Structure 1
Amino acid sequence: MSAHMTHARKLFDLDGRTALITGGSRGLGLQMAEALGDFGARVLICARKDDELQSAAARLQERGISVDWVCVDAGKPESIAGLVDTAMERLGNIDILVNNAGASWGAPAEDYPLDAWDKVFNLNMRGLFLLTQAIGKRSMIPRKFGRVINIASIAGLRGNPPGSMKTIAYNASKGALVNFTRALASEWGAYGITVNALAPGFFPTRMSQGVIDGIGENTLAAMTPLQRLGDDEDLKGAVLLFASDAGKHISGQILAVDGGASAV
């Protein structure tokens, strides 16, 4: 291998880096934990269910990834300080924060329950803000280094096709996350911290499966230029770009990983 190729590959190398991934026990969070761990990061995953975390940790360890886990509800403000304490204790510092934990709820806008609205916003925005603020203040700003990667959605870039989902709070929260990403990138760039967001389209996960079943996988695939849904590998390259030195000059950006769906 040439020296130039070796250097190019090192741009994606995460050896010696640490990563905290919320909602990391399954679905997109676990996929991103695999990607970051495979490229050398020490990984801490958190989610709400012990058994799923243990299963995910075992899967990551089988890949040779250094992984730890903590059971926590990232939507509860009183849980955030403890999560940050634990993360700092186990990782030393947090270089990469992947804000992946999220919730959705379907109901017509005119009848949308307030408690459902609050549940979605408390996790998707309020808890995410508190965690990012604490990690920034305690680990990233003092060291003048950090990578914040927010998991938004193409639902934050547009409405829903007529006759499909009725998820007003989810769309609104992900739209808020899109501009949260830009605003935080503008402030924290002075500290050497990049802040970016991924906006996935439809991936078969437990959270999206009900919608996929309701509309039909073939129908959803037909609505995307690439005629397919996302798979178990499709977020890996994008999260690695934002987490590694390859993306050190990218900040405040929203990258849709959606088979081209947001382009039409």
Structure 2
Amino acid sequence: MREKFNSFFSNKNTITEISDKDISQTENYLEVVKTFAKLTYQSVYIIDYQKRNFEYVSDNPIFLCGLTSEEVRELGYDFYFKNVGEKDLNLLLKINQIGFDFFDNLPVEDRKNYTISYDFHIINEKKNSILINHKLTPLFLNEEGKIWKAMCIVSLSPNHSSGNIIISSIKSEIISEFNLEDNVWENKKKAKLSDRETEILTLHARGLTINEIAEKIFLSPDTVKFHRRKLFEKMGVENITEALSYATHNKLL
């Protein structure tokens, strides 16, 4: 078990010392994180790679599995061993390895622009398996360019199975998706929405029906449905719920 625990911490990102300059980055940052957590429906937690624990865990229940945020914080990485099945736990260890390998090849000055996203199951307090989407992005690097602290954001996944490993940058139109069968990264372009598609998706996000959207933007319901179908094709999704989740995850709205 301890060997698997240590597998979460790549030798390429092992931090033994933190300098005064590193520490100066973090002044009052947790207050900002706590405020952000209050404004989102997603679960938020902070990993400290130097201490190898969770520094902060929000109160949102999605990620807690019936525990309190303080209990999850105290468990740290042991939370995964208690609430993730063997198959998905091995997947997480794989993601950890390939993620740090990918990160290690990026220019240091560009590293904080990247986010890795993936799906895995957690077992809640009722012993039900729930597929979640997990995003991790660096908050602070040490002077060597290694990840010191990272923010993780957890929400329900729009997908149907574990995996779906994607790395993206806020400064690039290219996303890298990991092919688990071939064990390689594959690059593809982010979906680009037309102004009309963005408008329709935004109105759906506000809770409007197809007929209400059609009336608001002076189109027929059939035309709205046509735009929705094109939207689904671009995103590779099957319904509006998945489309909204995709758009949120990829910052298209």
Higher relative contact order (CA 8 A, sep 6+): 1
Asked if these proteins are the same fold (TM beyond 0.5), I'd say no
Task: Report the TM range for the smaller structure's normalisation.
Answer: under 0.3
Greater Rg by CA: 2
The normalised TM-score by structure 2 is 0.26
Larger proportion of strand: 2
Larger proportion of helix: 1
The normalised TM-score by structure 1 is 0.25
